[in-house]
Amino acid sequence: MPLCASAALALLLLGNAARRAQEPRERLPGWNASFVVPPGWRVLQNSGRAAALGDVTESSAVFVAASFLATTADAADELRAVFEDLHYDATPVQALTDTTIAGRRALVAHYRGASQAGPVEARAAVVFTTHGTGVTVLGLAGGDRSGAVAALVARVAASVDAAAPVTNTAWITGLAGQWQHIPPASAARDSGAAGTAVVEESFQFDGRERFAWHSRTVVTVRGAGTGPFTAAGASDSGGYSVVGNTLVLRGQARRRVLDIGLNGEQLSIGGRVFRRKA
């Protein structure tokens, strides 16, 4: 006896749900977020806040990152930071536009840029959660693959699942003190026969979610007969928090989200090593 239409529909929905349940999910620890890894794709790297995916053809890439996002401006800042990390000079084709993805408030955008291999299209989707966070999905591909990557970005964004992030209270307290980064003069980007220019940075954390940051460029001129002098400086202050191994700085000048590592008297912030001052 043939199945009635309602029974057939029920079986179809159950089949789709079962397939979705079988798809592997990648998690962003601390942020309590996860997403589906589509067939033909694999996770290349996971920092705890962000993950990079590559396809079998190695012609496309997808980046997924969680952060505290609540507004379009927050999402724009997050994408700008991702573009800077990827050294991708993006020109908007479609600016961030409000939409809904899987019943949640979201933003989508389309960018165009270039790499050494040629033109690169970028598709972005930002899915907001009810916990003051958002998950950004960014896909990059050559022009002939842009349509496929746009569909993939939409699929990954629709699969995002997120609960409230977990604050790393131990690291908030453990950061208390002053931390200083002084790169060797030999590694200074502006070193030359005439002298060196070294960028010094320092952080002051109170252990109770307040920070201050200072930076200065110290120039030494060979044969000048005078000591080093400060050529430029900058500073910022505000609140901070730690989620997983992610440091979130809410400064007066700008908001920054950085991967960190804390090991006794040594602190890694965005790949730079800081040491606690006695």
CA distances from 148 to 187, 244, 247 (A): 42, 33, 34
pLDDT value at position 17?
A: 47
* Residue that terminates a domain, selected from 162, 182, 207: 162
Domain identity same for 50 and 75: yes
pLDDT digits (tens, 9 = 90+) for 113-138: 877 667 889 999 999 999 999 999 99
Domain identity same for 107 and 218: no
Q: How far apart are CA 218 and CA 216, in angstroms?
A: 6
Domain identity same for 195 and 102: no
* Residue that terminates a domain, selected from 162, 186, 205: 162
Indicate the pLDDT class of residue 195, thresholds 50, 70 and 90: low
Domain identity same for 105 and 235: no
Indicate the pLDDT class of residue 18, thresholds 50, 70 and 90: very low
CA distances from 119 to 49, 56, 88 (A): 28, 20, 11
Burial class (CB in 10 A: 0-12, 13-18, 19+), 220: middle
Which CATH number do you get for residue 99? 3.40.1000.10
CA distances from 156 to 109, 123, 146, 274 (A): 15, 12, 15, 36
Indicate the pLDDT class of residue 14, thresholds 50, 70 and 90: low
pLDDT of 229 over the 80 cut: no
Identify whether the C-beta of residue 44 lies closer than 8 Å to the C-beta of residue 53: yes
Residue-number span of the structural domain to which 144 is assigned: 23-162
Identify whether the C-beta of residue 126 lies closer than 8 Å to the C-beta of residue 134: yes
Q: How far apart are CA 50 and CA 61, in angstroms?
A: 13
pLDDT of 7 over the 70 cut: no
